[in-house]
Amino acid sequence: MKYGLYTSRGTCQCSTQLYSGPGSHGYVAQDAQFFADAGADYLKEDSCCGSQDHTTAFGDYAEMRDALNKTGRPIYFSLCGWNTWYAPEGDRLGNSWRIAGDGTNWGALSNCINQNSKLQQYALPGAWNDPDLLQGTGRGSNDKATNPSGCFDPSTMRQTADWYQSIQQAKAQFTMWAIMSAPLLISADPGQVELEVLEFWGNSEVIQVSQTFRKGGPYQGQRIVGGDLQYNIKTQMGSGTNIWGKLLPASPSSSSGPGFALAFVSNENQVTNVTCDSACFDAMFGAANLRPRALGVRDLWTQKPLATMTPPYNLTATLQPHGGVALYRFFPSTN
């Protein structure tokens, strides 16, 4: 476990109806030293009460970056600016940067996926696009409705009314965060969340997709089929399917060469077949400079191998509505 702390680059922290606190503006060096002395391993710096002018925002984050570095303590610096325009500057300012608004439910998280589909080129070792936290379903959160020890009361904090997602959507989020190489940060008490969700978050083969990288990149997966995903939590209606791919190094346990992973996701309102056809596979082969004679396939959620594939390549996943998902890893054979 790592120890994280929070501040904002403005004059106040991000407020609710019940709480607001001072930000670090004007006290950056003092606050940075406090974080280091407290033993922080991670610092999230929000943007509330700070200027949204790009130059000013970058300058504020650079000031905290320099102050943290001056302390001599290695602290993961997480920028929380809620916009894609941080991505081109992110790697010089911190270790990750939020690229969209709060991912409070599956509709908002779907938008985070949409925004991140444009930002693959900015992800680098030690510097990552951040589409927000792993939300789970609300069990173990700070909401009194789901956690007796929580302090968020929906009757007095109306913005919590539309938070959280289904178990299926929690699985979809983890799948997409893995293929996007996003920071995997749990926004819940692991001692209280559902066993099924804990099993999602503990799937070592899915985590391996997230945390292993082909030398030279690209380090984040890319959307190769589909457009933007939509989901309205109030009407519980959605639309859109995606297939994302990520290049991977050779598996230590495999004699085959470097491979790739494919994630399938659907927000349609009915059970939907989503197909990676020959053009979809060619997109991955071209990116990897591969012309395989066969493909070994492993379903990373069932953790079982599928039948070896041979040309012409075509794979269909049957997905449930509103967050149906599948994740496969492919091991090319050129022999």
Would you state the pLDDT for residue 101?
94
In a domain, 191, yes or no: yes
Domain-ending residue, one of 179, 207, 235:
207
At which of 207, 232, 247 does a domain end? 207
Give residue 154's pLDDT. 72
Query: What percent of the chain stands above pLDDT 70?
Result: 96
Cα(171)–Cα(156) distance, integer angstroms:
30
Q: Provide the pairing of β-strand 230-232 with 259-266.
A: unpaired
Residue 18: predicted pLDDT: 57
Residues identified as active-site = 46, 102
pTM exceeds 0.75, yes or no:
yes
Mean pLDDT for 112-126 is 97
- Domain that residue 94 falls in: 4-207
pLDDT at position 47? 95
pLDDT beyond 70 at 102: yes
Q: Tell me whether residue 321 is in a domain.
A: yes
Residues 6+ apart with CB under 8 A from 297: 305, 306, 307, 308, 309, 315, 328, 329, 330, 331
Chain-wide mean pLDDT for the chain? 93
Q: Are residues 197 and 259 in the same domain?
A: no
In a shared domain, residues 161 and 13? yes
DSSP result, 94-120 = -SEEE-SS---BHHHHHHHHHHHTT-G
pLDDT in tens, 230-279: 999 999 999 999 999 999 997 665 556 689 999 999 999 999 999 999 99
Residue 57, pLDDT > 80, answer yes
- The answer to whether residues 286 and 149 belong to one domain is no
In the predicted structure, residue 292 carries a pLDDT above the cut 60: yes
Which residues share a beta bridge with 315? 276
Q: Is there a single domain that holds both residue 247 and residue 184?
A: no
- Residue 246: strand pairing partners: 261
The pLDDT value recorded for residue 13 is 86
DSSP 160-206: GTT-B--HHHHHHHHHHHHHTT----B-S-TTTS-HHHHHHHT-HHH
pLDDT, one tens digit per residue, over 139-155 is 888 878 777 778 777 77
Q: Are residues 135 and 247 in the same domain?
A: no
Specify whether 194 is located in the same domain as 278. Answer: no
Which residue is it, tokens 């004679």?
A: 293
- Is there a single domain that holds both residue 111 and residue 28? yes
CATH number at residue 320: 2.60.40.1180
269 and 140 within one domain: no
Q: Are 239 and 267 in contact (CB under 8 A)?
A: yes
Asked whether residue 212 is assigned to any structural domain, the reply reads no
Q: Average the pLDDT over 312-317 and give the result.
A: 97
For 85-94, give one letter per residue: b (16+ CB within 10 A) or e: ebbebbbebb
Find, among 285, 293, 297, 223, the residue nearest to 254 by Cα.
297
Q: Which helix (H) or strand (E) holds 246?
A: strand 241-248
159-211: pLDDT as tens digits: 677 888 999 999 999 999 999 999 999 999 999 999 999 999 999 999 999 99
